[in-house]
Structure 1
Amino acid sequence: MTTQLLLIDALNLIRRIYAVDSNQSHHSEEHMIKASCARVAHACKKLLSQCNATHAIAVFDGDKSWRYHYYAAYKSTRSPMPDTLKNNLARFKHAIEETGIVVFSPENDEADDIIATLAYKAASNNVSSTIVSTDKGFLPFLSAHIAIFDYFKKHYIEHQDIKQRFNVPQHRLVDFWALAGDKTNDIPGVKGIGNKSAEQLINDYESIEAAMMDDALNATLKRKLTADMDKLIISRNLVMLRTDINLGFSLKQLRLN
C-alpha cells in the first residue's frame, strides 16, 4: 500500500468547529463540549477515509514558540483562546486519539513548523502528505508530494487558487507577506507598503534585492524599503515556516492501526 501521511493542524480544526458549536443552543456547557468533541472526531474519521491515510498525526501548538522571543509583538493583539475551550483541550485530544490518529503537543514549537517539517521530510523521501488547515502559511509548500485541504470548504487548494488570491507566484509568497505584513499575526512588514505595492514589487522584480538595485524603482518605494529593511528581514523570518525542527519520532510511529 502506498504511504499517505495525514497532517492535521489540530487547533485550526478544533477552534472553527468549537466556534460554531458554542453559538448553538445547548442544554449546558458540558453538552456543548461533548457535541464539539464528537464533531472533531467525526471530522478526523472523514479525513482518514478521504485521504486514504496510512499514517496520521494531529499537531497542537506548544507554549510560546521562538517567534515570541524573536519579535515581542508577535500575535500580541490576537484574542486569547476561550477559557471553556482551553480548559477542555485534553478532551479534544482524547477524542482525536480515539480515531487512531497520533496527537502531538510540542513543548514550545508551533504546530505550523512541526507540520511543515513533517511534510518537507516526507516529500524529500517521495512520501505524499495532505495538510489539513486553512492557514495560508502552508501555501508555499503545495507541490507534487504535498497537498493542502480546507476541511470547511471541502476543497483541495490548487496553484490557480493561490494566484487568484494573492496575484503573485507561489514561490514569492514569503516575500509578498514580508513586504505587506500580516495584521492577523501582528507581523509588521514594511511601513507604508500594502498589498498593491508589494504585489507590484514581486511581479516586476525577481527579488527584493533586485528591486533595491534598480535606479528606475519608484523613489518613494525605494525610500520605504531602505528605511524599514530591518522590519522586512524580521517579517520574512516570521512568516517563513521552518522545516528543520527536531521531531524526536519517526514516520513509523505515525502508522494507523
Structure 2
Amino acid sequence: MPAHIVLIDAMNLIRRIYAVQERPFHYMDTLSESTKQQIIHNTKIHTIQAVRKILDSQQPTHILAVFDSKQPCWRYQVYPDYKKGRKKMPEHLEQSLVSIQDALLDLQVDSLVSDDDEADDLIATLAVKVALRAQDVTIISTDKGFLPLLCDHIRVFDYFNQRHLDEAYVRDKFQVKSTQLIDLWTLSGDSTNKIPGVPGIGQITASKLLQQYHSLKGVLNASDLKNSLMKTLDEHKLQMQLYQELLTLKKDIPLGFNLKDIRIPKPVSQQAV
C-alpha cells in the first residue's frame, strides 16, 4: 500500500474552530470563566470531530498535527513588523492546547510542537522530504503560504470548504502558477503577514508582469519596462530580497524522527466524543 502522509496545520484548524465557537459571545465586553470553559470545551469537541472526518476522508497511512512554537519565530527577528497587528491567541485557548493534543493522541494522531520555527516551516520540510521519495502528502490548511509547494506528490486541502487548493485554484485566484506565487507576493505584498511589497504594484500588475517575464528575475532583467517602474524596482531590490526570504518556507529543518514514528498503527475508533 503506497504511503499517504497527512500533515495538519493544527493552529489553523483549531483557531478557526475556536472563532466559530466564540462568535455568539462577541457582543460581550468580557467573557466569564464559565463561558471561556464552555467555548474551550466546544472547540475541543469540534476539533476532534474534524480530525476524525479528516482520517475518514483522507485515509492516511501516516498523520501528524504540527503546532507553532510559543516563542516568536526567526521571521520576527529579521522583520519586526511580520504579522504586525494580528490578534493574539486568547490565553485560555493557549492553555488548552496540551489537552487538545492529548485528545488527538487518543485518535493516534501525534503532535509536533516547534521550538524555534513556524509550523509552516516544519510542515514544508516534512512534505518535501516525503515528496522526494515519491510518496503522497496532503497538507490540511487554508493558509495560502503552502500553495508554492504544490506538485505531483503534495496537495493542500481546505477542510472548511472541503476542497483541494490545486493549480486550477491558484490560476483562478492569482492568475499565475504555483511556482510563481513567491515572486507574486514579493511584488504585490502579502497583507496576511504584513509584507508590503513594492509600492504601486498590486496583484493585477504583478501577475501581468510574471505572465510576461515568467519570474521576478525576469522582471528585474527586463529592458522594456516603463522608466518609472524600473526605477521603483531598482530602489526596492534589498526589500524584495527580504520579502522573498520571509515568504519562502524552510525545507531543511532537522526533524529528529522517522516516518514510522507517525504511522497509524491500527484503524481509529469512530465513536463519538
Fold match (TM-score > 0.5): yes
CA offset at residue 79 of structure 1?
Answer: 1.4
1:40 aligns with one of 26, 47, 57: 47
Decide whether aligned partners of structure 1 residues 204 and 111 sit closer, same or farther in structure 2, where only a CA change above 3 A counts: same
Question: 2:129 matched to 1:105?
Answer: no
Structure 1: where are the runs of 5+ without partners?
none
Q: Which amino acid aligns with 1:169?
A: K
Deviations 1:44-78 (A, max 9, x none): 11111211111110000112111111212111221
1:2 aligned counterpart, secondary structure: coil
2:153 matches 1:145: yes
Q: Which runs of 5+ in 2 are unaligned?
A: 26-31, 266-273
Partners of 2:235 and 2:105 lie apart in 1 by: 50
RMSD between superposed Cα atoms in Å: 1.5
TM-score, with length taken from structure 1: 0.95
- SS of the residue corresponding to residue 176 of structure 2 reads coil
The CA distance in 1 between the partners of 2:125 and 2:155, in whole Å, is 14
Q: Identity percentage over the alignment?
A: 39
- The equivalent of 1:164 in structure 2 is 172
| TM value normalised by structure 2 | 0.90
Aligned position for 1:8: 8
Q: Which residue of 2 aligns with 1:59?
A: 66
Given that 2:11 and 2:67 are in contact with CA atoms closer than 8 Å, whether structure 1 keeps it comes out as yes
Contact 1:190 1:229 in 2 (8 A): no
Counterpart secondary structure, 2:100: helix
| Separation in 1, partners of 2:2, 2:208 | 43
Note if 1:227 corresponds to 2:235: yes
Task: Check if 1:118 corresponds to 2:162.
Answer: no
CA–CA separation in structure 1 for the residues paired with 2:212 and 2:204: 12
- Distance in 2, matches of 1:155 and 1:215, equals 41
Q: 2:64·2:109 contact (CA, 8 Å) conserved in 1?
A: yes
| 1: CA distance, partners of 2:217 / 2:249 | 21
Rounded Cα–Cα distance in structure 1 between residues aligned with 2:164 and 2:215: 29
In the aligned structure 1, how far is the partner of 2:59 from the partner of 2:133?
19
Distance in 2 of aligned mates of 1:146 and 1:198: 26
Sort the Cα spacing of 1:77 and 1:29 in 2 relative to 1 into closer, same or farther, 3 A: closer
Q: CA deviation at 1:159?
A: 1.2
